[in-house]
Amino acid sequence: MTRDSEISEKTERLIQLMAEEKLGGILLNARHNFSWLTCGGSNGIDQSREAGAGWLFVRDDARRFVLSNKIEMPRLLEEELEGQGYEPVEFGWELEKANPATVTEHARSLLKDHKPIASDLPVAGCDRVIEGEISRIRGALTQSEVDRYRVLGRDAGEAIGRLAASLEPGLTEIEIARRASEALAACGAHSVVSLVATDGRLAKYRHPVPTQRRWEKSVMVVACARRGGLTVSLTRIVCNGTVPDELTRRTQACARVNAQLFDATRPGVKGSDLYLVTSRGYEREGFRGEEHLHHQGGATGYRTRDWVAHPQSEDRVQLRQAFAWNPSITGTKTEETCIAFEDHVEVISASPNWPGITVEAGGREYVLPGVLIL
């Protein structure tokens, strides 16, 4: 699939959404949606914001526009949108600052009729915010996205695997996180989440933001790597010397729950049913209630999680949708990114030469990351 055909397919999804919602056009400003529609482009400037600089506007007749102030338009056209057929609509940055509805007013002037305009993020003058609906049509990956995702998963798995295997006891969590970010940067990826837990913190916190604590016996490294908009999530645990029996027992139990999740991740299955897989899995393993201490993961793609499995989730697995499952039992966790196909999932983030835990579920074998001994 060429870039042009991928963009055409995604534009057609937006047009179908407009028909369903009776819209005249859709504005896209969130950085993840900009990347999705442009096949990896970026409108990000201020990395602390979800909103980007510059808006894409798709009209219900498939014409595509880019709306931006004069600061950003030249770069967007030359470096992010070249050859993609976007028609520029430019305005002064002073006008944009003075009038919060500037973007919506310009978009509305492009309509052929008086149909409503929707946006992925709240913006003055817009009729509706429909990020949820856009997330749904983003879910099914195109073949080109699957191909790019596989390469990203391979690169991230290799980078974090090498990094984890190279760690020396005595390093601080902050230093480990820095090295993980650098390892991903070396393959053109950006670490959008970097978590590190050493020794006792591994059992205390599910989201261990790195500190100055130095590791001695065990360390967990969590990374979410983004490249071209797509995001891969993975977790690796390392021990200095013998792995404690209890850590082995809990990690193997986690792996079995993870394998059951992989086996259940099939097109059409609801998020609430996947949540039940984890809760029942923990109970079988003798760790009842662990699902209440951390979410189990869910759909991913252009965000670290588009939705997570929970008891009331009505979201359904789509064909060729990416998932990052992260079952955890106090003191350990397994996490890989996979893509759901008709009758199986394909794990894309494995680390070569990493010790694996092989688990059979539903007649298939799945290999989950075990604990590496230095």
Contact 366, 232 (CB under 8 A): no
Which residues, in sequence order, are bridge partners of residue 366?
359
Local structure of residue 244 (DSSP, 8 states): P
Q: Report the interhelical angle of 3-21 vs 143-165 (nearest 10°).
A: 110
46 sits in which H/E element: none
Q: What pLDDT is stored for residue 48 in this prediction?
A: 79
State how far the alpha carbon of 97 is from the alpha carbons of 3, 91, 192, in Å.
34, 11, 29
Local structure of residue 77 (DSSP, 8 states): I
Instruction: Report helix, strand or coil for 53.
Output: strand
Q: What is the chain's Cα-based Rg?
A: 22
Token couple for 191: 């670490």
Angle at 237 between CA 234 and CA 243, to 5 degrees: 155
Phi, psi of 173 (to 5 degrees): -60, -40
In angstroms, the first-to-last Cα distance of the chain is 43
Which residues, in sequence order, are bridge partners of residue 332?
329
Looking at residue 216, its amino acid is: E
Rounded CA-CA distance 290/292 in Å is: 5
Q: Cα torsion for 343, 348, 353, 354, to the nearest 10°?
A: -90
Angle at 249 between CA 248 and CA 253, to 5 degrees: 115
Instruction: Report helix, strand or coil for 225.
Output: strand
Instruction: Report helix, strand or coil for 16.
Output: helix
Rounded CA-CA distance 263/256 in Å is: 11
State how far the alpha carbon of 260 is from the alpha carbons of 146, 223, 264, 281, in Å.
23, 23, 6, 8
Q: Which domains does the chain have, with CATH numbers?
A: 3-138 (3.40.350.10), 143-373 (3.90.230.10)
Rounded CA-CA distance 159/131 in Å is: 32
Rounded CA-CA distance 162/63 in Å is: 46
Contact 337, 234 (CB under 8 A): yes
Contact 339, 320 (CB under 8 A): yes
Angle at 38 between CA 33 and CA 44, to 5 degrees: 60
What is the CB neighbour count within 10 angstroms for residue 293?
Answer: 12
Per-residue tens of pLDDT for the chain, all 374 residues? 899 999 999 999 999 999 999 999 999 999 999 999 999 999 999 887 899 999 999 999 999 999 999 999 999 999 999 999 999 999 999 999 999 999 999 999 999 898 999 999 999 999 999 999 999 999 999 999 999 999 999 999 999 999 999 999 999 999 999 999 999 999 999 999 999 999 999 999 999 999 999 999 999 999 999 999 999 999 999 999 999 999 999 999 999 999 999 999 999 999 999 999 999 999 999 999 999 999 999 999 999 999 999 999 999 999 999 999 999 999 999 999 999 999 999 999 999 999 999 999 999 999 999 999 99
Residue 143: HSE in the Cβ half-sphere, 13 Å Cα cutoff: 4
Number of helices (H), then strands (E), belonging to the chain: the values are: 11, 19
Angle at 240 between CA 238 and CA 241, to 5 degrees: 120
